[in-house]
Amino acid sequence: MPKRIKPEDADFQRMVSKKFRTTPIKSTIKHITGLPKSAILYKCEASSFWQFRVHLEGKPRKRSTKEEEIGKAEREAKKIYADMLKQISSGEISVQPTTRNTLQQVAKSLWAKNQTRIKNDELHGEKVAKDTYVFERHIKPFFARYDIKDIDLDLLEQFKSHLADQGLSAATQISYINIVMALLKEAQIKRLISHLPPKPRVRTDDGVRGYFDDKELSELTRAIRRNRDQIHEFKDGDGKTYRKTRITEELLLLVNFMIETYIRPTDVKVLKHEDVKLVKKSDITFLVLEHEKTKLHKKNMVSTERGLIVYRAIIDHRGPNGAIGPKDYLFLPEYPHRDSALKNLSTQFSAILAMIGMEEDRHGKPRTLYSLRHTAIVGSLRKGIPIELVASNARTSTDMIRRFYGSHIDNILETGTVYVEKEKERRDKRFNLYNQVVADLRRVSNNPMYDTSAEREEAAEVAELIKIRQEAAKGDGGKEREQKAKKIVRRKSRSADDEDS
């Protein structure tokens, strides 16, 4: 009768068996011609592939050849050995090639670092949450079967094609690839890879959102008033309703407020009454928005002169008693979940655009809530406000304005009076120089042809002639003056002939 194994002994045997699944099978060990004696190929229970092992820099280094045939495994082993020597020569001798590392392992490290960056206000929590979602949904499934050392430009190009096949836009593809590159950078920092692969290039056009000119903006606000309390139904391609929304007074207040303050839609959901300050300059009261930073921008935003009027309308809308607390939100304060509040307003805006057929501007650019911010910025540029001031007040950069907003400026004359004033200044400078030269010539030569006063008298006579002819055309009584005008012309002609002679 066989001896019964105790439970604790059975657990120990299973543990030992699992531990030694990567131990070389003695009968499979083979030395590789042309490599050091420590370089061997072998098989183990954990894999059907031939494994390569060599001692370098006093450490055993192992890597799978990913080949089942011995001939191919030997060729792959020599490539692996050459790669190891390259790493050593470049000073990267502590790279760990012994175990399988995936993006999932690196992601855990990067997410932990990002949490620290959030606490230090170096990173926005919403961005980290979005990146984590994208990783779990799109990146992790694609790269799950690859060792991190196998991620090269070719594999990244395959990932780009995978995203394109899913119908994702070029901008979205770039954002997803950037997350992968950040993970690879973290792997390099942890010395899991020796270098970063090149980043795939994705051609993209700047996603310029549409805006509203003055006429379109007036039409939009009138449409909101006209359709207040109306319900709009969103329908799919089959004509089935998949969403309904009601147009409210809140939308009109939001449109007017965004036009006068440059505020981003993402800022709207966090804006409270305590964030709105009143500042008086030159008898004009401006709104100064001091809300929490978004997109790593902390500068305050100053409204236009009409900003105060719009803010008063918001307060009046809340009730005749003005029972508003400093912690109350400006828009849809009854919504505790602020993302839902912003989504409600955005849906209303999409609905009103669909109702009046203004989903796109005249350039074919789609309109969203961001279009109101674009409209405010373009309007400021057309007033002639310097681009640096507009950028600073709008919490953006001059480069972003030139890329995304400058396309709405049809010509330089639409940027206010600065250009015209500069051209007038250059013209006056040229005329002053010309008049000075003429005066010098007249003084030196004493020639009446350089007398600018005579030129002015001639111009005055021509102006008088035009005036007389206009009066003569009004009635018969102008005949005598018409004859006088003809005499003036003849006199001028004779004097001109005399000068020629």
Identify the top-confidence range among 19-33, 312-326, 397-411, 421-435: 19-33
Q: If DSSP codes are grouped into helix, strand and coil, which group holds residue 298?
A: coil
Q: If DSSP codes are grouped into helix, strand and coil, which group holds residue 219?
A: helix
Distance CA 177, CA 185 (A): 12
Give the pLDDT band (50/70/90) at residue 411.
Answer: very low
Average pLDDT, the chain: 78
Give the pLDDT band (50/70/90) at residue 87.
Answer: confident
Residue with the two structure tokens 């490539």: 79
Distance CA 411, CA 434 (A): 31
User: Is the per-residue pLDDT at 418 higher than 80?
Assistant: no
Tokens of 64: 């799978």
3-state secondary structure 119-186: HCCCCCHHHHHHHHHHHHHHHHHHHCCCCHHHCCHHHHHHHHHHHHHCCCCHHHHHHHHHHHHHHHHH
Tokens of 126: 């919403």
Distance CA 407, CA 160 (A): 29
Contact status, residue 159 vs residue 143, Cβ threshold 8 Å: yes
Residue type present at position 317: H
Domain segments of the chain: what residues?
Answer: 19-89, 103-189, 214-414, 451-500
Contact status, residue 182 vs residue 218, Cβ threshold 8 Å: no
DSSP lists the bridge partners of residue 40 as 31, 53
Contact status, residue 401 vs residue 393, Cβ threshold 8 Å: no
Give the pLDDT band (50/70/90) at residue 484.
Answer: very low
- Contact partners, residue 314, CB within 8 Å, separation at least 6: 253, 257, 330, 331
DSSP states of 246-265: E--HHHHHHHHHHHHH---H
Distance CA 123, CA 312 (A): 35
User: Is the per-residue pLDDT at 186 higher than 80?
Assistant: yes
Q: If DSSP codes are grouped into helix, strand and coil, which group holds residue 276?
A: strand
Distance of CA 482 to the CA centre of its chain: 68
Per-residue pLDDT averaged across 32-43, rounded? Answer: 88
The number of C-alpha atoms within 13 Å of 416 and in the hemisphere containing its C-beta is 12
Ramachandran angles phi, psi of 106, nearest 5°: -70, -35
User: Is the per-residue pLDDT at 143 higher than 80?
Assistant: yes
For 424-462, how does the pLDDT look when each residue is reduced to its tens digit (9 = 90+)? 666 677 667 767 776 777 666 666 555 555 555 555 665
Ramachandran angles phi, psi of 435, nearest 5°: -65, -35
Percentage, residues of the chain above pLDDT 70: 71
User: Is the per-residue pLDDT at 52 higher than 80?
Assistant: yes
Distance CA 203, CA 200 (A): 10
Distance CA 176, CA 139 (A): 8
Distance CA 388, CA 35 (A): 64
Alpha-carbon dihedral sign for residues 193, 195, 201, 202: positive
State residue 393's pLDDT score: 78
Identify the top-confidence range among 290-299, 365-374, 398-407: 365-374
Give the pLDDT band (50/70/90) at residue 184.
Answer: very high
Distance CA 342, CA 94 (A): 50
User: Is the per-residue pLDDT at 384 higher than 60?
Assistant: yes
The number of C-alpha atoms within 13 Å of 126 and in the hemisphere containing its C-beta is 8
User: Is the per-residue pLDDT at 148 higher than 70?
Assistant: yes
Distance CA 199, CA 107 (A): 18
Q: If DSSP codes are grouped into helix, strand and coil, which group holds residue 6?
A: coil
For 334-356, how does the pLDDT look when each residue is reduced to its tens digit (9 = 90+)? 999 988 999 999 999 999 999 99
State residue 457's pLDDT score: 57
State residue 204's pLDDT score: 64
The number of C-alpha atoms within 13 Å of 379 and in the hemisphere containing its C-beta is 20
Residue type present at position 49: F
Contact status, residue 135 vs residue 177, Cβ threshold 8 Å: no
Tokens of 373: 């911010």
CATH of 214-414, one of 1.10.3720.10, 3.30.2140.20, 1.10.443.10, 3.40.50.2300: 1.10.443.10
The greatest distance separating any two alpha carbons of the chain, rounded to the nearest whole angstrom, comes to 149
Tokens of 455: 């030129």
Residue with the two structure tokens 């409204």: 303
More confident residue, 164 or 7: 164
State residue 414's pLDDT score: 47
Find the Cα–Cα–Cα–Cα dihedral 419, 425, 431, 435, rounded to 10°: 180
pTM comes to 0.52
Per-residue pLDDT averaged across 14-28, rounded? Answer: 69
Distance CA 253, CA 312 (A): 10
